Structure formats: C-alpha cells, structure tokens
Amino acid sequence: MRRFAEGRAAACWSKAEIIAIVALLLTGAPRPSCAATIEHRTGEIVFSTETATIAFSDVNGSVRSVTEHGKDGTLFQSGEDGLWKVTYREGGSTHAAGFAAGSVTQPFTWAVDPCAETLRLSYANADVAVTVTLAGRTDGIDFSASVEPARKTVLEFVLPARLRFAPDGIERLVCPLNGNESVGAAFKSAFFKPQTADHPAGWRTQVVGPNGYISLFGAGAVSRADNDPPVPIRITTDGRTWLGTNLTSK
C-alpha cells in the first residue's frame, strides 16, 4: 500500500449535506474508473477491482479485509468504530459499528448498481443519515460519502474510522506531521509493536536537510516566492458544489 488518504470534514454543519471523498490507492497515480465485481458471500459483501479486493461485513459495513491481488494476508480491517464515525458539536458521537442489518432504530442496508458498478452502504438513525458509495478504479477503490445531520451539528466526519492492522504485515506506514516541523514520517513495523516501559519508541525533531523529503516523495521540495504574481483559476464542477455559487462568483 503506497498511500491511504483519509477524507475528513473538519468544520461545522447542521442542516446541510456533507460530502467527503477518500481513495484507497494501491499503486501509482489516479486513473479513470474501471470495472468492479461485487458479490455477496457468507456474511460478507466483496468488492473487487483489477488490483484489490475489499470485504465488508453484511451486518454493519465494517471492513473485514483488504487484499492486493497476488499477495497473501489482509492489509488492515476496521477498528471498534466500524467504517466511519461522526462527532457532534453538542457532544457525543455516532459510529457505523452501532448500526445493524434488520435493526429498527439504527438500520444498515446496502445496494448494488450493476450499471455504474458501484456499491452503496446506507446508515440512518434519529441523529444522522450516512451513505458511503464505492467505485472501482484501475489503481484502487474510491470512497465517497454523504452525511445528513438531523438534530445535531456535525463537527467532524471520519472515513474511514480507526483501522487495525498487524505490524508484521507492513514495511512502512507513511503519515503526515505538523507542517512547521516536517512533511511526514515513515514508521516501520517495530514502531507499532509492544514497547518497553523504560525505553518506548518515539522521535524528536532535528534539522537534517532535504534527504527525508526526498526519501518520502522521490524529489526535493520546490520553494516559491512569498508573493507570486496572481494567476487566473478555473473552478471545476466539483469546486462549484463545494464552494457554492456566492463564493465561486468572487
């Protein structure tokens, strides 16, 4: 796995729809969508593309396994919150693991669109309605989600929610860090294993030049002037949806 990007809505919404997008990319750069195979097996909804297969629980949509074709073992699975988690400004939270197929108060349902080759996972209760849609790509799987609050203000939406993985199954995990300190760090498997109380794993910041950046991203950073000349921008269709008519017109 080269990159796992988490989509997070980090502002406040009440009676508006929140849209979040997250892509599980298993190779290379983004490419157009491709054919996907969706099957319902014993206790699982299995979504397969050319490069990967992801299996969801048919009870609440939690990720049971993610596998790359030609490789053994799962990359990760959902943690205690299930597929997603919503936190409210008024306090409290809702998580996907609390829903269940057949539940009266917190039902989970799923549906397949054979024409679009997409899988839709739907959740609804008195506080919020969440729909997660999966679409296949040539290099992985796209997740998109809509969140519709009912009685509370959504402060944060996390997709995917906390994930679990076996440390021995990873070579390194690349994560962003505080932009004032670094562009990111690569943690090896030993970092996630049990630590001794007197000498646990950790790190400290130190100025070392561009080698770390080059190691993570393959080339050095490009530093631009503080005040570049203004240039025209083009608002895409998605951009208009996100920004709204008033802000787009400015």
pLDDT at 15 over 80: no
Per-residue pLDDT averaged across 150-159, rounded? 92
Q: What is the pLDDT of residues 40-64, one digit of tens each?
A: 998 999 998 888 899 999 999 999 9
Residue finishing a domain among 121, 148, 164: 164
Spatial contact of 84 and 158, defined as CB atoms under 8 Å apart: yes
Q: How confident is the model at residue 34 (pLDDT cuts 50, 70, 90)?
A: low
pLDDT at 171 over 90: no
Do 175 and 160 share a structural domain?
A: no
Q: 87-91, 122-126, 164-168 — which is least confidently predicted?
A: 164-168
pLDDT at 22: 53
Do 170 and 160 share a structural domain?
A: no
Do 132 and 78 share a structural domain?
A: yes
Q: What is the pLDDT of residues 97-137, one digit of tens each?
A: 999 999 999 999 999 987 768 899 999 999 999 999 998 87
pLDDT at 85 over 90: yes
Full DSSP string of 108-149: EEEEEETTTTEEEEEEE-SSEEEEEEEEEETTEEEEEEEEEE
pLDDT at 17 over 70: no
Residue finishing a domain among 131, 164, 197: 164
Do 103 and 194 share a structural domain?
A: no
3-state secondary structure of 58: coil
Do 125 and 40 share a structural domain?
A: yes
Please give the backbone phi and psi of residue 158, each rounded to the nearest 5 degrees, phi first. -120, 120
Do 224 and 130 share a structural domain?
A: no
**Greater pLDDT, 78 or 166:** 78
**Greater pLDDT, 157 or 3:** 157
Do 49 and 87 share a structural domain?
A: yes
pLDDT at 182 over 60: yes
Arithmetic mean of pLDDT over the chain: 81
Cis peptide before 160 (omega within 30 of 0): yes
Residue 195 neighbours by CB under 8 Å, 6+ apart? 201
**Greater pLDDT, 21 or 6:** 21
Full DSSP string of 63-123: EEEEEETT--S-S-EE-TT-S-EEEETTS-EEEGGG-BTT-SSSBEEEEEETTTTEEEEEE
Q: Which domain holds residue 143?
A: 3-164
Residue 118 is which amino acid? T
Q: How confident is the model at residue 31 (pLDDT cuts 50, 70, 90)?
A: very low
Do 123 and 195 share a structural domain?
A: no
pLDDT at 207 over 60: yes
pLDDT at 24: 57
* Structural domains of the chain, count: 2
pLDDT at 210 over 90: no
Do 131 and 8 share a structural domain?
A: yes
Do 62 and 123 share a structural domain?
A: yes
3-state helix/strand/coil string of 161-202: CCEECCHHHCCCEEECCCCCCCCCEEECHHHHCCCCCCCCCC
Do 117 and 93 share a structural domain?
A: yes
- Tell me the C-alpha distance between 145 and 17, whole Å: 10
Query: Looking up tokens 């039902």, which residue turns up?
Result: 107
Do 80 and 193 share a structural domain?
A: no
Residue finishing a domain among 142, 164, 186: 164
- Tell me the C-alpha distance between 84 and 10, whole Å: 14
Helix (H) or strand (E) segment spanning residue 240: helix 237-249
